[in-house]
Every structure is written in C-alpha cells, then in structure tokens.
Chain A
Amino acid sequence: MKYIYDIRLIFDFVFSLGARLWELTGLPLWLYSQIKIVVIGSILLGVISLAVMFLIWLERRLSAHFQSRIGPNRVGWQGSLQAVADIVKLLAKENITPANADVVVYLLAPMVVFAAAFMAYIALPVAPRLVVNNFSLGILYILSISSLGVIGILMAGWSSNNKYSLIGGMRSAAQMISYEIPLVLAVLSVIMMAGSLNLSEIVASQKNFFDWHIFRQPLAFLIYFVAATAEINRLPFDIPEAESELTAGFHTEYSGIRFGIFFLAEFANMMIVASIVTSLFLGGWHGFGFLPPIAWFLIKDAFTIFTLIWFRWTFPRFRMDQLMNLGWKILTPLALLNIFVTGIRMFIK
C-alpha cells in the first residue's frame, strides 16, 4: 500500500540495491549515477510512448464524438489498439526523401523536435520527489528547452525545399516570438507569489484548495493557457500546418515514420504544457485525499489535455495577422498589467 502511494519508494529500493551491486564491481560511483539517469530516461520514454498512443486514441475518439461520428473502433476494444496498428503501418511505409531536399538537415529536424520535447521532462515532478532531476531553476529550464523545438520545425520547413514547408516553418517562428513573451510573463506572476523557480516548491506552495494559483492568478492562467496552445501549434493556432492552405505545413515532405515522429513530438509537447498548467495553476499532485498524489496529477493532466482537444473542435483557426495581434496587442499588455497588479497586491496585504 505504501508503495502504491509513493512510487518513488520503489525506485529508491531498486537503485539502492543496484548501488550495492555496483560497489562489488569496483567501478566509479559517478558512472552509476549516469547509468541511473539512462535507466530512468528509458522508462520515461516508454511511458511517454504509451501515453501518446493512448492520447492519439483519445483524440480520435473524442473528435469523432464532437462531430457525431463513431471514430476508430475496430482494432482492439473500442479501437484502443488503433495507435499500435498505426505505428506498424507507418514503420512499413516507404520513406520518400525529396530529391531537392537538404538531406542532413531534413533527417535531423525530427530528432531536434522530439529531443527538445523530451528534455523538458527532466524537471517535471509528477508526485512528491518523483522527478528525474529536481533543478532549482526547474520552470526556467523547461521554458527555455521547450522553445528549442521551433528550431527543429524551422529546420524541417527549410530543408524540405518545398514552399508550403518553408512558409509553415516561418509561421511557426513568428508564432513563437509572439507568444513566448506573454507566456513567460504569465509564469512570472506565479513565480512572484511562490517565490521559487523549482516546480516542486511551486506545487508545495499550493497545498490548500484555495491556494491553487488558478484562483489567485486567474488572468495569468488564461494568458498561459492561450499562449501555450499557440506555442505547441495546437488549434486554433495551428497555422504552421494549416491543412486548408499549406497542405501539411512544415511536415508536408515527411512520410512514413518520419511524419510519425513529428506527431509523437506534438503529443509529447502537449503533455508538457498540460503538466506545467497542472503544476503551476492546478495545484500539481495536491488533491482531496483517497487517491495517491500521482493519480491526482494524472487526472488534472488528462483534464487539461481534454480541454486542448476540445479547443480543436470549438474554435476556428486564426489568420496570421489576427494571431500576431492577439499576442502583441492583447496578451502582452495584459500580462504586464497582471505583473503590476500582482506586485502591488503582494505588498498591500
């Protein structure tokens, strides 16, 4: 029971056992801690892949319900193995490399996009102490790493030597520079109240239900949610891959599993955004008892992702200039105002 409640105890047990065995071999201890990180990282990769497969199924089923369709329901129970079938299909598809592309950059791009998404998971605590590396600069690190992904998208757009891809990549960069500022400013007002950049400490500061930052910082929550949706190119901000005008945007020339990797990275990014929303605004792993902390975290995570999927079928897509206007003329001034108000409120009380 204790182990269900605190999964970290299992890791502690296994790794202390491993350390004993390692001492017998006489190899240096720093090597052991590196191997530990490799093991944790591999487990995390597995978890992410499984979660993404589940989310693909969820998104397709939910999309179908939103549109009064049935959706995939043939492979496995209620179509739950559809994602597995899709992966096998993608792996067995021919990979078409366009003749005019810059092949090195073309192949590196999916790697950069996924690695950038994956690296952000290091500083993400899902339960007390359950984090790969408890960076004291946690949220700053996640923000900076997750904005690296746009470089991969630009690489994909440029190296394909396709006009749609190029425009898609450029739009993605434009979107990043417009939404990074309100996003960071919204996070800053939470940091001002929590007094720490460490995500575990930010979550710890929201122990009581009414201390959740969604109640103390509702405006920051809204700004962050909108800006983050734009950062990960989800609808209604998906103009880098707007299918009605750019066919598939930056990944037009990617086929087979190479396209699959972009898809994987998109969902991995979605989970990061949902986890940050959960940690910063929804009280992280704090719940109402009767469930282990990690379950509360996952419930809030799932709800945030559901909202992101919901957005997709609710809002029409923005035009490029509307998108820039929303970022610079509405969200940025609002976020600045929010910082002023937060600062004054902190000292007036």
Chain B
Amino acid sequence: MFNIYSSIFIFAALGAVFVVAPFVISWLIAPRNPSQRKSSTYECGEAPVGSAWIQYNVRYYIFALIFLIFDVEVIFLFPWAVTLRSLGVLGLIEMFIFLAILALGLVYAWKKGALEWL
C-alpha cells in the first residue's frame, strides 16, 4: 500500500522541484531592474483602472451546481461499470433507472432555463 501511493507524493515533489530549478537558474542569470512602470498591472498600455480583485457576476454559478450533482453520480457509476458483466441484467436495469432520473434532472434544468448563458 505504502509503495503504491508514495509514488504519487514523490512525483508531486519532483514536479515542483522541476519547476523551481529553472526559477533559480533564471534568478541567477536574468537581469533585474524593476521599475514602477514595468511592474504595474498590464492593461494594454493604459494606466490600470482599479484592482482586479472585485466581486463580479460569475455567470456559470448554476452550471457549477449541476456539475456537482453529475460528478457525484459519476463516482457511483465507476464501480458499476467495472462489475457490469457479473452484475447481470438486473444491475443494468437498476443503474438505468438511476441514470434516467439524472437525465430527467438535466432535462428539467434545461427546460427551466438553467443552461442558458444569461
């Protein structure tokens, strides 16, 4: 068990190190002369207007909710898909009922206009 999952952490660390190394090299050889103009926020040459950390309307809020429902559903589907052959027709029908309810949910959201980009 330890051997199987330790590789994930080792790879995460290796990936991070692989990114840090060029940062360090570049820090050593690249020129550094920052100025106020240079380090100001880029806005196509204009002086930036205000901060970007504002509250703005995230339009896909309802999409995110539907996504959450479907993502959880998919987790249920994975073990079912693997064992489908041994589950037989009954397992197939049961999952189809589950899927049909979800598909109905999608149709309902669609009809309610939740899938429109407002």
Contact = CB atoms under 8 A, between A and B. Distances in A.
A121 B94 CA distance: 35
A324 B92 CA distance: 30
B41 A324 contact: no
Interface stretch (A10-18, A218-226, A331-339): A331-339
A111 B19 contact: yes
A150 B60 CA distance: 16
B67 to A, nearest CB: 4
A140 B27 contact: no
Interface stretch (A19-27, A71-79, A159-167, A209-217): A159-167
Nearest to B53: A161
Contacts of A51: none
A306 interface: no
B19 A115 contact: yes
User: What is the predominant secondary structure among interface residues of chain A facing chain B?
Assistant: helix
Given A110-B19, A132-B7, A324-B115, A98 B12 contact: no
Contacts of A160: 41, 52
B112 interface: no
Contacts of A261: 19, 22
Interface string A155-184: 000101111111000100110011011001
A91 B103 contact: no
Given A111-B20, A163-B52, A257-B22, A320 B117 contact: yes
A38 interface: yes
A162 B40 CA distance: 10
Given A41-B11, A340-B96, A98 B39 contact: yes
A203 to B, nearest CB: 16
A99 to B, nearest CB: 4
A119 B11 contact: yes
Interface residues of B, number: 67
A96 B39 contact: yes
Interface string A126-142: 00000011010000100
A115 B99 contact: no
Interface string A305-349: 000000000000000110011001100110010011001101100
Interface stretch (A29-37, A62-70, A235-243, A292-300): A29-37
User: What is the predominant secondary structure among interface residues of chain B facing chain A?
Assistant: helix
Interface string B99-118: 10011001000100001010
30 contacts: A38-B10, A41-B14, A92-B29, A95-B32, A96-B34, A96-B39, A97-B34, A98-B40, A98-B42, A99-B36, A110-B19, A114-B15, A114-B19, A115-B16, A117-B15, A162-B52, A164-B42, A174-B60, A177-B60, A178-B63, A185-B77, A188-B77, A188-B81, A191-B81, A195-B85, A261-B19, A328-B63, A332-B106, A343-B84, A343-B96
Interface of A: 30, 33-34, 37-38, 41-42, 45, 90-100, 107, 110-111, 114-119, 121-122, 132-133, 135, 140, 158, 160-166, 170, 173-174, 177-178, 180-181, 184-185, 188-189, 191-192, 195-197, 247, 252-253, 256-258, 260-261, 320-321, 324-325, 328-329, 332-333, 336, 339-340, 343-344, 346-347
Interface of B: 2-4, 6-8, 10-12, 14-16, 18-20, 22-23, 25-27, 29-34, 36, 38-44, 48, 51-53, 58-60, 63-64, 66-67, 70-71, 74, 77-78, 81-85, 88-89, 92, 95-96, 99, 102-103, 106, 110, 115, 117
